[in-house]
Amino acid sequence: MSDLGCIIGGVESINPFWLASAPPSDKKYNVERAFQAGWGGAVWKTLGVDPPVVNVTSRYGVHRTHDRRIIGINNIELISDRPLDINLREIEEMRREWPDRVIIGSIMAPIDEEAWKSLAIKVANSGVQGIELNLGCPHGMCERGMGSAVGQAPALVEQTTRWVREVVDIPVFTKLTPNVTDIIIPAAAAKAGGAHAVSLINTVNSVIGVDLNNMTPTPTVDGRGTHGGYCGEAVKPIALHMTAEIARQPETQGLEISAIGGITTWRDAAEFIALGAGAVQVCTAAMLYGFRIVEDMNEGLAAFMRDKGYRSIADFKGKATAQTVDWNELNINHDLKARIDDEACIECGRCFIACEDTAHQAIRIDAKNDGGRKFTVVDDECVGCNLCMHVCPVKDCITMEAVDTDRPYLTWPEHPKNPLRKVAE
Amino acid sequence: MKHFKITTESSRLSARDIAENFDDLHPSLDGAKAITEAARCLYCYDAPCMNACPTHIDIPKFIHQIRSGNLDGSAHTILSENIMGGACARACPTEILCEEVCVVHHTEGASVKIGELQRHAVDHLMDEGGAHPFMRGPLSGCTLAVIGAGPAGLSFAHRAAMLGHDVVLFEAKPKAGGLNEYGLAGYKMANDFAQTEVEFLLAIGGVRIEHGKVLGDNLSLDDLRTAYDAVFIGAGLTAARGLGVDGEHFAGVGDALEFIENVRRTEDKSSIPVGDDVVVIGGGNTAIDAAVQAKCLGARNVTLVYRRGPDAMTATQWERDLATANGVIIRYWAAPKAFSGGANVERAAFAAMRIDNGKLTPSGDSFELPADMVLKAIGQTLDSAIFGNLKLEGGKIDVNEQYQTSLPGVFAGGDCIKSGEDLTVQAVEDGKQAAIEADNMLREKLKGAAE
């Protein structure tokens, strides 16, 4: 039997699925429903220094695919707008009533040692198993010098992490913003400040859309709009990349990662874990589908682990890290050609036009005796880019076949055409 | 599949039931459903659906435009190839045209509902009631005559007007629209759509219709050739075929198209007399339209009798299903032998048929059906006498690839030409192409005159 239990930043959890600090973890009522549904933990919606913030109405915008599915949400909601003592009392109750679940207290304060430290102490005293520092919120709070304004200044990332480490004896998670050029720099700063783990990504700064009738960005608040934080399935690739980098770069190697960013299914979670995350946090999927979405996250991940023979999360954590390399380490001699299965082909022509218009003119159309069209890959022109395979609407109709080139593994630094190539000495 | 209200053993139809039966056959797609349906389209390259459409509408493009929210643009894409895109969206047998070859059928088990999407876009534009979407080109000074204001003639007139010519349409009947107005089941063209479409199409300007003009009566081809720069014949097929069997003269034995025309012309459908035992003879979509409408009017028993088997039937499977789902009994392999009765027809006798050495022949068995109404839907023929010395081929007007008849300056299209396929959409294509050819001819002529 596979065990979904895991330890992240020193915090034990019955499964790797926590609610991220966000609207779904705003209060006891919601978190209780989440725990009933099977979530392993919740990072409480970020607590600030009283008086609480005031939110605007009209808070979310969405990014839809053409079939109207939502692939991303953008929000302009701020941190918890409820008084600190009410939040802390609810956390205490929840810790008492749900002893096997994790509650992490997310906090945010102005850049002031005393403010961070006293807030951290109050929250730690409520019984949370860890503290998460919100250094990522890219809207509203950053204009007040908090959130991503801190996350974008490595020295402040290190400083706030250290302040909190100094006053609490529970694990500290530093939550990072993706709105930086190189995630390694703030991640290394968090490590230097003593973070037990980093949580990432926070939302991506974005304008989700424009109302073309009123010429206002959305979501619109009384005729005006602002940039907000983008999350959901669409940001997953950004988060995967940042997770992979932190896991593999020497400056941050070994730093534990609580991964966040578009996780909607068990498979998404497994991918983050494979790239080095110890556990994951979820928000958008719950907002779109409700807390029961966790049921299949748990069941699906367990089934995957059983199928692959992994007995624990730790068994496959970081299994894909070694294979994640710089471009310069890829084998230039590797050769693929597209193969089109005539039997499966429905003759839509999508592969042809994609290749013809935007790639390498490597697909030929011939008339078939039955009046249909036969699509054939011209091997001499095919560069193995995968585009045809991706646009094909039929699963496994176009596959990429490795060509045996008999040539050795050759990287760009060693390539004869590289003017700066390293010649073996 | 729509289920009409039909007469049962215990109840007959009320006037309201009958009126409701003639409501729209397909409810129109609402906006959200249309976008969901549009999202199923794969946006094929050189799409099979587009090639299967006689008018070659750029279907992937118009569906993409529905998806992008550019509904007027979508309608424009449709109408620029098929000005009667609204009627075709309602009446086309899409199951044997665009939707038959839609490749989504292979991936999802059901084709994209191209016809319903087309209707969604065109109805949107027509319901808006804004300016006509097409502009006329520079006026040529030419005036063209069109015989018949059916789909072929109207399509010709619209395209010719767009190309800068003036057009006079000569129509025998009091309304324009041809079979769209008089020859299709009422529920396919609900809410007077055929007339709405005629008005929409004429809004381009430069087109006039003269009603009550009958070729061979108060209209002559020679006069038109003299008076106009070019002539287009879109007269359809106006002569009813006879069965050539005993008793065809009995009251109650009639032509299915006349029956359909009567249904279409009558405002209060409950006033239309319909038999208790209706027998429809034929195997095309007109036979189905007659049979199902007879059911809609309250006929107790409706039997459609076709002399060949299901494979040879030209009515599409969808049409057959609509009929059988609504209580029409379809009997194959039987040809009418004789009708008998008193003042009115009472019985129809049939010979069972079979294929013998590749030939359809009576098998020797026969049967009778009670019949107080017999509707013949065995096709129409060209009334060749009215076309004078125009060359015919296989009983229809002979045209070359440019839609030119044997007489210079006379073009023809639609059901009356040899390639006529009995489809509104083909007639629209014929009219459009013939107008382009007539325009080419006239421009050559004008150029010659100028030089």
Could you tell me if A167 and A267 lie in one domain?
Answer: yes
Task: Please pick, among A6, A137, A283, A382, the residue that the annotation labels catalytic.
Answer: A137
Residue of A nearest to B46 (CA): A349
Residues A232 and A107 placed together within one structural domain of the fold:
yes
Nearest alpha carbon to residue A156 among A107, A124, A193, A120? A193
- Mean local confidence (pLDDT), B99-112: 96
Give the residue from A316, A346, A371 where a domain finishes: A316
- Whether B36 sits inside 8 A of A68 (CB atoms) is yes
- Shared domain for A379 and A308, answered yes or no, is no
Report the sign of the C-alpha dihedral through residues B367, B370, B372, B376, in that order. Answer: negative
Residue in A67, A350, A373 nearest the CB of B39: A67
Contact across the interface for B106 and A353, Cβ inside 8 Å: no
Q: B42 vs A348: CB contact, 8 Å cut-off?
A: yes
Gap from B27 CA to chain A (nearest CA, Å) = 22
Put simply, the answer to whether A349 touches B44 (Cβ < 8 Å) is yes
In a domain, A209, yes or no: yes
Q: Are residues A391 and A255 in the same domain?
A: no
Residue A65 lies in a domain: yes
Q: Which of A316, A347, A380 is the last residue of a domain?
A: A316
Confidence band of B388 (pLDDT split at 50, 70, 90) = confident
Element (H, E) at A155: helix A154-167
Based on the residue annotation, tell me whether A283 is a catalytic residue of this protein. Answer: no
Residues A138 and A11 grouped into a single domain = yes
CA torsion through residues B89, B92, B96, B98, sign: negative
Strand, coil or helix: what is A386?
Answer: coil
- Any domain includes A419: no
CA dihedral angle for residue A281, residue A285, residue A290, residue A292, rounded to 10 degrees? -70
CB A189, CB A152: distance < 8 Å: no
Residues A298, A333: one domain?
no
Of B32, B36, B44, the CB nearest to A350: B44
- How many angstroms separate the CA of residue A365 from the nearest CA in chain B? 11
Domain co-membership, A311 together with A332: no
Between positions 55 and 114 of A, the ones with CB within 8 A of B are 65-68
Tokens found for residue B389: 């010395």
Q: Which of A62-71, A127-136, A316-325 has the lowest mean pLDDT?
A: A62-71
Q: What is the pLDDT of residues A389-425, one digit of tens each?
A: 999 999 999 999 999 989 999 999 999 999 998 765 5
The CATH number covering residue A337 comes to 3.30.70.20
Cβ neighbourhood burial of B187 (10 Å; 0-12, 13-18, 19+): buried
| Contact criterion met (CB below 8 Å) for A27 and A88 | no
* Residue A145: pLDDT over 80: yes
Whether residue A321 is contained in a domain is answered as: no
Number of domains chain A contains: 2
Residues A293 and A346 placed together within one structural domain of the fold: no
Is the domain of A360 the same as that of A240? no
**What pTM was estimated for this model as a whole?**
0.91
What CA–CA distance (Å, rounded) separates B255 from B271? 19
**Which residue in A303, A318, A272, A270 sits closest to A2, CA to CA?**
A303
The answer to whether position A265 is within a domain reads yes
Residues 247-306 of A with CB under 8 A from B: none
Pairing of strands A60-64, A70-75: antiparallel
**Does A425 map to a domain?**
no
Q: Is B391 helix (H, G, I), strand (E, B) or coil?
A: coil
The CATH number of the domain holding residue A26 is: 3.20.20.70
Helix, strand or coil, per DSSP, at residue B309? coil
HSE on the CB side for B96, CA within 13 Å?
13
Tell me which chain A residue has its CA closest to the CA of residue B37: A67
Helix (H, G, I), strand (E, B) or coil at A98: coil
Q: Which residue of B has its CA nearest to A68?
A: B36
| Residues within 8 A of B (CB atoms), A 380-419 only | 393-394
Strands B253-255, B373-376: parallel, antiparallel or unpaired by DSSP? parallel
**Average pLDDT for residues B314-337, to the nearest whole number?**
96
Give tens-digit pLDDT for A366-393: 999 988 999 999 999 999 999 999 999 9
A89 with A202, same domain? Answer: yes
Contacts of B395 (CB under 8 A, 6+ apart): B381, B382, B384
DSSP string across B47-113: -HHHHHSTT---HHHHHHHHHTT-HHHHHHHHHHH-TTHHHHHHH--GGGTHHHH-THHHHHSS---
Mean pLDDT, residues A14-35 taken together: 98
Q: Do A348 and B44 touch (CB under 8 A)?
A: yes
Chain A positions touching B44 (Cβ under 8 A) are: 347-350
Domain-located, residue A422:
no
* H helices present in B149-282, as ranges: 151-162, 179-182, 193-202, 221-227, 256-265
Q: Which of A65, A66, A353 sits opposite B45 (nearest CB)?
A: A353
pLDDT band at A2 (very low <50, low <70, confident <90, very high): low
* Cβ-Cβ contacts under 8 Å, B48 against chain A: 347
**Residue with tokens 């979405």, as numbered in its chain:** A293
Query: Which residue among A65, A352, A393 places its CB closest to the CB of B42?
Result: A393
In terms of domains, do A396 and A312 share one? no
Does some domain include residue A153? yes
Contact A347 B48 (CB under 8 A): yes
**Final residue of a structural domain among A291, A316, A341:** A316
Q: Specify the DSSP element, H or E, that contains A256.
A: strand A256-260
Using the beta-carbon criterion (under 8 Å), do B103 and A350 form an inter-chain contact?
no
Among A65, A346, A352, select the one facing B106 at the smallest CB separation: A346
Q: What digits encode the pLDDT tens for the residues B272-309?
A: 999 999 999 999 999 999 999 999 999 999 999 999 99
How far apart CA B190 and CA B23 sit, in angstroms, is 6
What pLDDT, on a 0 to 100 scale, did the predictor assign at position B421?
Answer: 67
- Tell me whether residues B44 and A394 touch, CB distance under 8 A: no
- SS3 of B311-366: the string is HHCCCCHHHHHHHHHCCCEEECCEEEEEEEECCEEEEEEEEEEEEECCEEEEEEEE
Would you call A164 helix, strand, or coil by DSSP?
helix
Beta-carbon contacts below 8 Å between A and B = 40
Q: Tell me whether A224 touches chain B (CB under 8 Å).
A: no
Specify whether the CB–CB gap between A197 and A16 falls below 8 A: no
Domain annotation for chain B: domains and CATH numbers: 26-128 (1.10.1060.10), 143-238+382-450 (3.50.50.60), 240-379 (3.50.50.60)
Average pLDDT, chain B: 95
User: Do A284 and A352 fall into the same domain?
Assistant: no
- How far off is chain A from B107, nearest CA to CA, in Å? 7
Coil, strand or helix: which one is A109? coil
What distance in Å separates residue A344's CA from the closest CA in chain B?
9
Range of the domain at A20: 6-316
| Contacts of B346 by beta carbon, 8 Å cutoff, 6+ apart | B340, B370, B371, B372
pLDDT at A310 over 70: yes
Mean pLDDT of A27-35: 98
> Mean pLDDT across the stretch A129-154?
94
The answer, yes or no, to whether residue A35 has pLDDT greater than 70, is yes
- How distant is the Cα of A372 from the closest Cα of chain B, in angstroms? 9
ipTM reported for the complex, 2 dp? 0.86
Whether B42 has its CB under 8 Å from any CB of chain A: the answer is yes
**What residues of chain A lie within 8 A of the CB of B43, using their CB?**
350
- What does the pLDDT average to over B223-232? 97
